[in-house]
Amino acid sequence: MATVQPRTLQGFFDYLPEDMVIRSHVRDTWRDVFERFGYGQLETPALEYADILKGKYGEEEKLIYQFKDRGNREVALRYDQTVPLARVIAEHYSKLTFPFKRYEINRVWRADAARKGRKREFYQCDIDIVGTKSLMADVEIIAVLHEGFKALGLKDHVISINNRKIIDGFIATLKIPEEKQREVFRSIDKLDKIGKDGVLEELEKRGISKTAIPKIMNYLKIQESIGLKDNLYKKGTADQEYEQDFKKILKQMEFAEKGKEGVREIEEMLHYADVYGIDRKHFKIDPSLVRGLDYYTGSIFEIRVPSFGLTSLAGGGRYDGLIGMFAGKEIPAVGVGIGFEPICMALQELDLGPKDANTTQVLVTIFSEEYVKESYEMTRFLRKHEIRTELWLDKNTKLGKQFQYADRKSIPYAIVIGPEEKTSGMVVVKNMKTGEQQSIPSKDVLKALESIVIQKKR
């Protein structure tokens, strides 16, 4: 066999066991929250007929991995989890119960321009409620996010909310041609990235009318008008202050009938958020929040964690026009995409990963052939008590080498049962961090490992 250079495609990554610890933790945490809220899991194929995906992603369509399969069918790798959801809704309509609440945590593929660290294969983590226009559904999605971020230890999360109807209402007041409206839309969306000056420059370049531009710039200053700097509230802001600010902001957002409707929706959502016990301090009303995707029709929201900077960690909203695209009728829906990869990065950076990594907790060594049985029985005992235990797998290895293995794998404890121990019914427990060894009666081993044992299983 000719030697082939072992390598991975750019943008594709191996996740070794130590990388998987945080990834599994994030996955399990969300899954747990979703299921506690009664969401069911959905899995759709990695490959779809290409025409299912085409025409759905605008300019980004060129990033789809598409090819002809051996049967000469045009096929494509999943690009997101929303279009496949829409297909599932149409294809299995009669089997589903509505409102249909599903989650999916799975890989998607995008042939994005190569750049260091950019992933062409990554996980998405979505929940959606399909089949109801009730705003209680929008708030439930936010409540799920709130619970999940708390469960991950990202407790200072900020939920920015806005409503597409407000933006539409505002843009209608500009009295500019329809094709220009979309451009305004896209420029506003870039505020976070390019700042107000950047937006201004873009609007001028795009040839937006001289009367419209100042209005747009004023729109972007609504938050500043209440004295909110850097888009963030200070710690310890009083509840009434939020209350008043929200009122002041919302009052400036009632552009035409549509804008008023949007404002009413935000007010109703905030009311339910109160009922649901989500503290006001987590909310921020952000008129400049657009979320690029054209398909939103009502509420839009985004979550950031200030200690992790400006990266959006989840974003979604109501999109009543999209899910019905294959079913041939309007099917209301609200949902959110949770940034699986950025959340993993945030946990790593903020050192919020699981302390109890799901890797080995104890190595039971093999003293020699004659003590395999004793070592194995200790191993079995520990595993029965849900301690993740490895038995050394060779009867002819020096103890030093076995300790070295435990050390390299950061296994916190090693256990030795040799001739002395066998005779006296003792075991030696070695703390691999401190190097400290203690000889204890076998029956007390759980107590000696207490720091492990008391940790809850995932």
Shortest approach of its own copies to residue 458 CB, angstroms?
Answer: 9
Residue 240 within binding range of its own copies, rule CB under 8 A: no
- Which one among 166, 389, 412, 421 touches its own copies, defined by CB under 8 A? 389
Residue 333 sits in the site that holds its own copies (CB under 8 A): no
Nearest CA among 39, 57, 35, 38 for reference residue 48: 57
- Check residue 455 for interaction with its own copies (CB under 8 A): no
Smallest gap from residue 209 Cβ to its own copies (A): 31
Stretch of residues binding its own copies (CB under 8 A), selected from 241-249, 323-331, 412-420, 441-449: 323-331
Query: Judged by CB under 8 A, how many residues of this single chain contact its own copies?
Result: 96
By CB under 8 A, the residues from 87 to 126 that bind its own copies are 87-88, 90-92, 95-97, 99, 101-102, 107, 109, 111, 121
Give the residue with the Cβ less far from its own copies, 140 or 245. Answer: 140
User: How many angstroms separate the CA atoms of 204 and 296, rounded?
Assistant: 26
How long is the chain?
Answer: 458
Tell me the one-letter amino acid at 298.
Answer: G
Q: Are 173 and 306 in contact (CB under 8 A)?
A: no
Q: Which is nearer to its own copies, 251 or 380 (CB)?
A: 380
Q: Choose the stretch contacting its own copies; rule: CB under 8 A; options: 8-16, 154-162, 223-231, 419-427.
A: 8-16
Q: How many Cα atoms within 13 Å fall on the side-chain side of residue 419?
A: 1
Annotate 270-302 with DSSP letters as a single string: HHHHHHTT--GGGEEE-TT---S-TT--SEEEE
CB of 215 to its own copies, least distance (A): 32
Q: Which is nearer to its own copies, 169 or 332 (CB)?
A: 332
Do residues 30 and 125 lie in contact, with contact meaning Cβ atoms separated by under 8 Å? yes
Residues 160-219 contacting its own copies, CB under 8 A: none
- Tell whether omega for the bond before 99 is within 30 degrees of 0, i.e. cis: yes
DSSP structure class, residue 234: P
Q: Should residue 14 be labelled a site residue for its own copies when binding is judged by CB under 8 A?
A: yes
Q: What would the two tokens of residue 153 be? A: 């230890």
Options 162-170, 224-232, 253-261, 273-281: segment touching its own copies (CB under 8 A): 273-281
Nearer to its own copies, 41 or 225 (CB): 41
Site membership for its own copies, residue 325 (CB under 8 A)? yes
**Is position 452 an interface residue for its own copies (rule: CB under 8 A)?**
no
Minimum Å distance from CB 357 to its own copies? Answer: 9
Q: Does 127 bind its own copies (CB under 8 A)?
A: no
The tokens of 203 are what? 């609007």
Among residues 245, 264, 282, 327, the alpha carbon closest in space to that of 148 is found at 282
Write the DSSP string, 379-396.
HHHHHHTT--EEE---TT
Instruction: Establish if 2 lies at the interface with its own copies (CB under 8 A).
Output: yes
Question: Which single residue is written with the structure tokens 């079995």?
Answer: 380
* CA separation for the pair 428, 414 (Å, rounded): 8
Question: Should residue 68 be labelled a site residue for its own copies when binding is judged by CB under 8 A?
Answer: yes
Q: What is residue 398's three-state secondary structure?
A: coil
Q: Does 55 bind its own copies (CB under 8 A)?
A: yes
End-to-end, the C-alpha distance of the chain in Å comes to 43
Handedness of CA 253, 256, 259, 265 (dihedral sign): positive
Per-residue contact flags (x/-) with its own copies for residues 390 to 419, judged by CB under 8 A = xx-xxx---------x--xx----------
**Residue 338 in contact with residue 126, Cβ under 8 Å?**
yes
User: Is the CB of 185 or the CB of 405 nearer to its own copies?
Assistant: 405
Write down the least CB distance from residue 200 to its own copies, Å. 34
Give min distance, CB of 408 to its own copies, in A: 4
The per-residue DSSP string of 189-224 comes to HTHHHHHHHHHHHHHHHTT--TTHHHHHHHHTTHHH
Task: Quickly count: other Cβ atoms within 10 Å of residue 197's Cβ.
Answer: 8
Decide if residue 327 touches its own copies (CB under 8 A).
Answer: yes
CB of 7 to its own copies, least distance (A): 7
* Structure tokens given for 453: 């044992």
**Of the candidate residues 105, 125, 127, 137, the single one contacting its own copies (CB under 8 A):** 137
